Structure formats: C-alpha cells, structure tokens
Amino acid sequence: MNPELARAEELIRSVPDYPEPGILFRDITPLLADAEALRVTTQALIEPFLGTFDVVAGVEARGFILAGAAAIAAGVGFVPIRKAGKLPRPAASVDYSLEYGTATIEMHDDLPAGTRILLIDDVLATGGTLAAGRHIIDRLGYSVAGISVLFEIEGLGGRELIGDLHTVFRSA
C-alpha cells in the first residue's frame, strides 16, 4: 500500500458498541476532514473502474459523501440511493437486513435505460446494503459497472453476498 493510503487508513477510528452493543463502528470522519486523505481514497475508490461508468451512486448516508467526491473526481454525475421516505417520488424501493435491524432504500428512475453506474458505499460488513443497492439499480434497468467500498470488514459474509467488488481497506 502506498504511504498516502496507509496514512489515510490510520485516520479511520474504531468505535466499540455503536450504534448497538457488540457492533464495532468504523468512523471515517477524521479521514473525510483531511483533504489529502480524502483525495487519495477517492481516487482509489474509482481507479479500477475509470471509463466504465456514466454516473456514481452512493448509499445514504456516508456513501453519499464518498460517491459525491468520486463523481467529481471522475467527471460524472451523482445519484443518491436514499433511506425510505426521503425522496419526493421514489421509483423503486428495496427492503434489506443490517447487522442490527432492517431498512429500506429508494432510488429515482431519472437516468436513461442501460446507464452504467458505479455503486459506492463506505463500509462492507454483511453486504445487505450493497446487495439492496445493486438490486434497485438492476430493477430500474440500469447496469452496475462495479461496486467499490472504502472499508471491508472481513468475516461477516459481505464479500460472499456481493461477489466481485473493489475495497480500498480491509480489516478482520
């Protein structure tokens, strides 16, 4: 790993028992506050996919931040995948399971059919959120050009559920 990425990884904090007892939360806010760390991680998120996508989609909430930065870096647009009830006119919704509950995401259908989307989120744990994101993109007639995450927590089954994806950082 290059020194700039290694330094960026050191900025990710582990917060035990948040938001529920037994969950180890990965706090990326120190990384986001550091301009150079944000730049190198954004580049690392999109690099394997450059030239293969038309827009970047991010899953609410922290995925928005990374996907927005990635869209700007790649010179493409950004599409939000929101929590239920946050869009004025959802076109599709998907229910999914989290480590500590269930949730629903929604997405508009404003893009041309076949649009190639790079799906980005902050952390891959069990994979439920990204699987739901991929499902909603497919349901709307778009194409998933790739999936990229900042941080993968290995051993929770996420990679097995999602399959091929790109991760910048990994932790057991």
- Residue 154: is its pLDDT beyond 70? yes
* Range 19-49 burial, b when 16+ CB lie within 10 A, else e: eeeeeeebebeebbeeeebbebbbbbbbeeb
If you average pLDDT over residues 139-157, what whole number do you get? 95
What tokens appear for 26 in the block? Answer: 């990965």
What tokens appear for 117 in the block? Answer: 């989307």
Q: What is the tens place of the pLDDT at every residue in 66-122?
A: 999 999 999 999 999 999 999 988 789 998 877 667 889 999 999 999 999 999 999
If you average pLDDT over residues 27-42, what whole number do you get? 97
Q: Catalytic one among 62, 116, 134, 159?
A: 62
Is 116 an annotated catalytic residue? no
| Mean pLDDT for all residues in the chain | 93
- Residue 23: is its pLDDT beyond 90? no
pLDDT at 90: 76
Name which of 5, 50, 4, 18 is nearest 151 in CA terms: 5
Amino acid at 17: D
> What is the domain partition of the chain in residue ranges?
46-171
**Do 93 and 60 contact (CB within 8 A), yes or no?**
no
Sign of the alpha-carbon torsion through 87, 44, 14, 165? positive
**46-171: which CATH number, 3.60.10.10, 3.40.50.2020, 3.30.1490.190, 3.40.720.10?**
3.40.50.2020
pLDDT at 97: 77
Range with the poorest average pLDDT among 22-26, 32-36, 48-52, 73-77: 22-26
pLDDT at 126: 87
Is 39 an annotated catalytic residue? no
Which segments within the chain are labelled E, that is strand? 13-16, 24-27, 55-59, 77-83, 92-98, 101-107, 116-124, 143-153, 166-171
Instruction: Please tell me the pTM assigned to this model.
Output: 0.93
pLDDT at 13: 93
Q: Catalytic one among 10, 36, 47, 99?
A: 99
pLDDT at 12: 94
Please report which confidence band the pLDDT of residue 172 belongs to, taking 50, 70 and 90 as the band edges.
low
